Structure 1
Amino acid sequence: MAVAGPRTLNLVRQNQASIQHVCSRASSWWSGVEMGPPDAILGVTEAFKRDTNPKKMNLGVGAYRDDNGKPFVLPSVRMAEELIVSQKLDKEYLPISGSADFCKHAITLALGSDSPAIADGLNVTVQGISGTGALRIGSTFLSKFFPGPKNVWLPAPTWGNHVPIFKHVNMDVKQYRYYDPKTCGFDFSGAIEDISKIPKGSLIMLHACAHNPTGVDPKAEQWDEMSKVIKERELLPFFDMAYQGFASGDVAKDAYAVRKFLADGHKICLSQSFSKNMGLYGKENINVLYSPNVWLPAPTWGNHVPIFKHVNMDVKQYRYYDPKTCGFDFSGAIEDISVSIIEDIAVNFSMYLVPEKIPKGSLIMLHACAHNPTGVDPKAEQWDEMSKVIKERELLPFFDMAYQGFASGDVAKDAYAVRKFLADGHKICLSQSFSKNMGLYAPTWGNHVPIFKHVNMDVKQYRYYDPKTCGFDFSGAIEDISVSIIEDIAVNFSMYLVPEKIPKGSLIMLHACAHNPTGVDPKAEHSIWLKDVKGMADRIINMRTKLKENLAKEGSIRDWSHITDQIGMFCFTGMTPDQVEKLTKEFSVYLTKDGRISVAGIASSNVEYLAHAMHHATK
């Protein structure tokens, strides 16, 4: 120990200049990154965790809890999980549009089994990554192809993600009146007045049920009048339905607005999520990195180019594969990276080499192991040299590591490049996938392409699901595929076998959730889920009733009828920021400053305490 200290200090002194250089370079890469807005819910949760009051309550989290305040996994979900495991299904890739069986049942749940849109094939249903993913795909599609004004009208207030999702695709975000803070209810007259002034042909966002964050929904007759006005204004309704069945306990009642608009002749967009009504909160994670430009190896994985181009990055390439030797073009790669010969990329990835200097601090993509599509990897000593040159050029390495352990059978060996670059002092980005090395192909759904006939894109289908057998219609699929027209839609050469003659103005549906790949008729599981979701809804409704009753017992003279008039997981209490602060400081009841509470955080054991606290904070 007596020797280790001075030696360590000496090393630090010797490397001080390089450390400062690396830190300076890293700082320049990220100096333009703006701090994201603070997460109000996360702040509430962190403050709740620090509180030592045994009576503390967290009413900020938007996830269901049982009457003991514990996370709840639906029995129907447990059954489905056990069934999937028992069937020993493979993990092959799903079609790009998702599971046909899942899509069929999802759209039937939304529109009803007797819907003409289903019977007559007037819908296109595809699967995505939860509600946010569906909204993101829908907004991107509408931004590019919607012929009306490039704006969207949202209710005020609306779910926090709606605004950034639409702004991210460069749509102009506007609002119409919805919530009335004076009554803690729906501002029907204000909404109708504003909607009647929206420019014709615009896009309007509607919460199908259990409006988030207010819990305030229009009544059936108000939906009828809104449908009439929206149709007169020739607006395109985009429904966000994240709480079907969870709002009232009745899936048909919660879908009233969607089905009414279709019955009235509207063409609609619909985003569905099953996170809330199936308790599947942890099944929708995705990470995103953005940078201005990127240099890719030639060739590279087919999805790299469209992924980076989709976020408006300038895509270039450096030499990698040598077709003469069927091996790694080491000298070409080093020359391109150091001397900076860059290539422009055509749609077919043909290379047109032109001299251009790689700007210092640029992003370079590297395959960590098992290069796709060539299978050609640099040797360890070649990685060492590449690390040296890339560091000299002050480039930011972005490793794509999809085959760790699957390449050589040795996870450490396959991670050599990543670990070597870190040891050499690089700051890196790393994308990992476990599809290949764990054989999990099916649970990795990516983007999908929602298509409208009326924007001049031919949408076709082939037979897949046979309702008579509740299985795969093999003969029908083979027959359709053999005569279908194959259309190459995307730059990554994904092929879509698509149906004949979809009527103009067809309906596009965007859905999200974990798919049911069992191929088993889900009627039994469906009936159990209906019971599960009604049980959750009934508990929420019961807590609303008990809260209102206990406020009256406390002697509150305020009108708390909005607590039971509102619906779903959230309640806008009408409390002011000062009252919220008092509630938190004096009673350890945590909620957001706008007075919104998650009713799921209330239990039979604490509802009286909450009523007492709310009364004293508001009297």
Structure 2
Amino acid sequence: MGSRFQVVEQGPPIEVFQLNKLFTEDSFKNKVNLGVGAYRDENGKPWVLPVVRKMEKQMAEDDTLLHEYLPVLGLENFSNASVAMLLGENNPVITEGRAFGVQTLSGTGSLRVGAELLNKHLKYTNFYYSSPTWENHHLVFINSGFTQPRTYRYWNEKTRGIDFDGLIEDLKNAPENSVVILHACAHNPTGIDPSNEQWERIADVMEERKLFPFFDSAYQGFASGDLDRDAWAVRYFVERGFELVCAQSYAKNFGLYNERVGNLTIVISDKAHVAPLKSQLTWIVRGMYSNPPAHGARVVANVLSNSTLFDEWRDHIKMMSSRVIQMREALRAELIKLGTPGNWDHIVKQIGLFSYTGLTPRQCEHLIQEHHIYLLGSGRINICGLNPTNVEYVAMAINDAILKFPAKDDDSRAKL
């Protein structure tokens, strides 16, 4: 008898995880992984933040900590600390009771819970994401019930910067009540953020067109080393009087990737709506994963609410962000030294983990096959994959790929 499951077709691999698998299986001594979005130290090794280690040891010794279920919406002190970190402790929306948070399964879970809330209860069906964006945005929103995916222009291949006129034009043509996904800082994959003046212009158009901002904040503090600077755009929209939601992740800035620590911050214009919103969010989470895990959230909550630990953590994020900045400068310097065709200033103008290099799919393929340097076909690289011992090798390989396969004018990644 045939299996009932014979109707199930093989799905396509997820590129970034597939890349990681190929890297792991590669026996080449000088292989380099520029794919997966995780911090690596100067020896190319994963790094557990010392303040996290310290906290975990303390928690292991604490006999009062139990493994009982958390409430459906998670640890309240964790969410309160997260909202305060994002919006600034004395933000009027917090003191007026118009902002609250719920603990979620990292940034992805936060996007999913927020999207489901907007789709089921506000009946929103249109959503916009930047072209390009983090590849999971589309899937998460579609799976949450949104039916009209659209894109707004973002990356300009020629200038290797933002196509700001295109972005504004696309938002101006967006139907009312469209949800617009905005990267709070360190845009993934391009690493290029709008300037403060550009954010103001984006807010003008969104206000005018009655569009709904959904921020994705995956790198607060990690991008520039400054928590306030990385939250500027979100705070500005709040100050302008927008109602909004923001997905927060602690994967990168606390190095808690596999603990799935996230928060969904919701800012509204009238605190009377907080109780009904929380009740509906409770049912959304109940039907999805019932309640969140405690370990990582406790680590974050304890660090954020203790000034000594908080300062220690801030030093860690400053150190991580400055290492990224140094590696950007080192890669650019090596490419210039080799006389690599093209202008490489965009690498140091970009911020955060990622750089959209401008390499073509064919050049990327060459880097993987000939040089054992693993990167996405879009040309996005994780700058943390670079370190003082491999940056020269990577620059040499990039130079080789560009000389062997010069980019044609029509070889653009806009299609990807």
Indicate the percent of aligned positions where both proteins have the same amino acid.
Answer: 41
Aligned residues: 395
Instruction: State the 1:32 CA deviation.
Output: 2.9
1:604 matched residue in structure 2: 388
Residue 459, structure 1, aligned to residue 243, structure 2: no
8 Å CA contact 2:181–2:215 kept in 1: the answer is yes
Instruction: State the 1:580 CA deviation.
Output: 1.3
1:37 matched residue in structure 2: 12
Structure-2-length-normalised TM-score:
0.87
User: For residues 155 and 262 of structure 1, what CA distance do their matches in structure 2 show?
Assistant: 21
1:515 matched residue in structure 2: 297
Give the counterpart of 1:560 among 330, 335, 344: 344
1:535 matched residue in structure 2: 319
2:60 match: secondary structure: helix
User: For residues 548 and 66 of structure 1, what CA distance do their matches in structure 2 show?
Assistant: 19
- Give the AA of the match of 2:328: R
8 Å CA contact 1:127–1:512 kept in 2: the answer is no
1:103 matched residue in structure 2: 79
2:13 match: secondary structure: coil
2:7 match: secondary structure: coil
User: For residues 338 and 24 of structure 2, what CA distance do their matches in structure 1 show?
Assistant: 28
1:407-430 CA-to-partner distances (Å, cap 9, x unmatched) read xxxxxxxxxxxxxxxxxxxxxxxx
Residue 263, structure 1, aligned to residue 45, structure 2: no
Cα separation, partners in 2 of 1:105 and 1:586, compared to 1, 3 Å:
same
8 Å CA contact 2:40–2:46 kept in 1: the answer is yes
1:141 matched residue in structure 2: 117
- Give the AA of the match of 1:80: M
Cα separation, partners in 2 of 1:201 and 1:39, compared to 1, 3 Å:
closer
Q: How does 1:357-436 map to 2 (within 5 A)?
A: none
Give the counterpart of 1:185 among 137, 161, 164: 161
1:163 matched residue in structure 2: 138
1:110 match: secondary structure: helix
Give the counterpart of 1:284 among 260, 263, 276: 260
1:213 match: secondary structure: coil
Instruction: State the 1:519 CA deviation.
Output: 6.6
1:579 match: secondary structure: helix
Cα separation, partners in 2 of 1:458 and 1:253, compared to 1, 3 Å:
closer
Q: How does 1:285-324 map to 2 (within 5 A)?
A: none
- Give the AA of the match of 2:312: I
Q: How does 1:214-225 map to 2 (within 5 A)?
A: 214-225=190-201
Instruction: Structure 2: give runs of 5+ residues left out of the alignment.
Output: 404-416
1:278 match: secondary structure: coil
1:233 matched residue in structure 2: 209
8 Å CA contact 2:20–2:36 kept in 1: the answer is yes
User: What RMSD in Å do the two structures reach over aligned CA positions?
Assistant: 3.1
8 Å CA contact 1:451–1:457 kept in 2: the answer is no
Structure-1-length-normalised TM-score:
0.60
- Give the AA of the match of 2:60: V
1:189 match: secondary structure: helix
Structure with the bigger percentage of helix: 2
Cα separation, partners in 2 of 1:493 and 1:187, compared to 1, 3 Å:
closer
Residue 46, structure 1, aligned to residue 21, structure 2: yes
2:357 matched residue in structure 1: 573
User: For residues 51 and 493 of structure 1, what CA distance do their matches in structure 2 show?
Assistant: 42
8 Å CA contact 1:208–1:257 kept in 2: the answer is yes
Instruction: State the 1:211 CA deviation.
Output: 1.0
- Give the AA of the match of 1:544: R
Residue 59, structure 1, aligned to residue 59, structure 2: no
8 Å CA contact 2:42–2:387 kept in 1: the answer is yes
Instruction: Structure 1: give runs of 5+ residues left out of the alignment.
Output: 1-20, 286-444, 463-485, 495-509
Instruction: State the 1:52 CA deviation.
Output: 3.2
Instruction: State the 1:454 CA deviation.
Output: 7.2
- Give the AA of the match of 1:564: V
Runs of 4+ in 1 over 4 A off after TM superposition: 447-458, 486-494, 510-513, 517-521
User: For residues 66 and 294 of structure 2, what CA distance do their matches in structure 1 show?
Assistant: 21
2:413 matched residue in structure 1: none
8 Å CA contact 1:131–1:511 kept in 2: the answer is no
User: For residues 276 and 284 of structure 2, what CA distance do their matches in structure 1 show?
Assistant: 19
2:408 matched residue in structure 1: none
- Give the AA of the match of 1:516: R
